[in-house]
Amino acid sequence: MRKKKNISVKAHKKGKHIIRAREKAAQNVSPVVEKYWFQRYNLFSKYDEGITMDEEGWYSVTPEQIAIRHALRCVAATAKPNPVVIDCFAGVGGNAIQFARMCCYVVAIDIDPKRLELAINNAKIYGVQHCIDFIVGDFFQLAPSLKGDIVFLAPPWGGPSYKSIENFTLDFLKPRNGYVVDVFVSQT
């Protein structure tokens, strides 16, 4: 009797494992980003409602609670009721969505059109797509023509390969070796 129970527990565990593997494959979860998939509800609490991600999106997105804090702090620092936010490197929308939820109007820029499609889908899931203008483009080219109350920068940082670097300095920031930081420091 005990043997039978053990077998069914094993079969149940195996079944769960297979379902998980299928789920991960369907959601673009490569071994590189598996650890981020395990944190999916921290990244987007509405994950199960149809959030879409790609590999860079998985390791780049700002976790929801942190994005909420970013938005709260930025909004508190401006005196305007509905500030315009420029999200210069919008990715799959983690920050843009939380700014929009706090009554900001967001201009969300990303150089990768496919990633921006994912962001549009994710914004719809949070019901804020109408508060965000999605622009495909190189932020460095667009910067001179942009005007906003808040400029939010979350530039690409290189991904999980950071683990092999002993000291991670600003020079490792992409797309141009920390240049993005220089641009803003010199303009403020």
Q: How far is the CB of 75 from ligand SAM (least distance, A)?
A: 16
Determine if 160 is a binding residue for ligand SAM (CB under 6 A).
no
Site string for ligand SAM, 76-95 (x = CB under 6 A): -------------xxxxxxx
Q: Which residue is nearest to ligand SAM (CB)?
A: 94
Site string for ligand SAM, 99-118 (x = CB under 6 A): ----------xxxx--x---
60 binds ligand SAM (CB under 6 A): yes
**Smaller CB distance to ligand SAM: residue 105 or 157?**
157
Q: How far is the CB of 150 from ligand SAM (least distance, A)?
A: 14
Query: By CB neighbour count within 10 A (0-12 exposed, 13-18 middle, 19+ buried), where does 148 fall?
Result: middle
Residues 6+ apart with CB under 8 A from 54: 28, 92, 114, 115, 118
Nearest C-alpha neighbor of 94 from the set 39, 149, 139: 39
Q: Based on CB atoms, which residue is closest to ligand SAM, 149 or 153?
A: 153
CA 20 to chain centre: 22
CA distance 78 to 80: 6
Q: Does 70 bind ligand SAM (CB under 6 A)?
A: no
Two tokens at 26? 């369907």
Q: Identify the residue whose tokens are 């962001």.
A: 119
Could you list the residues that contact ligand SAM (CB under 6 A)? 56, 60-62, 89-95, 109-112, 115, 138-140, 154-156, 175
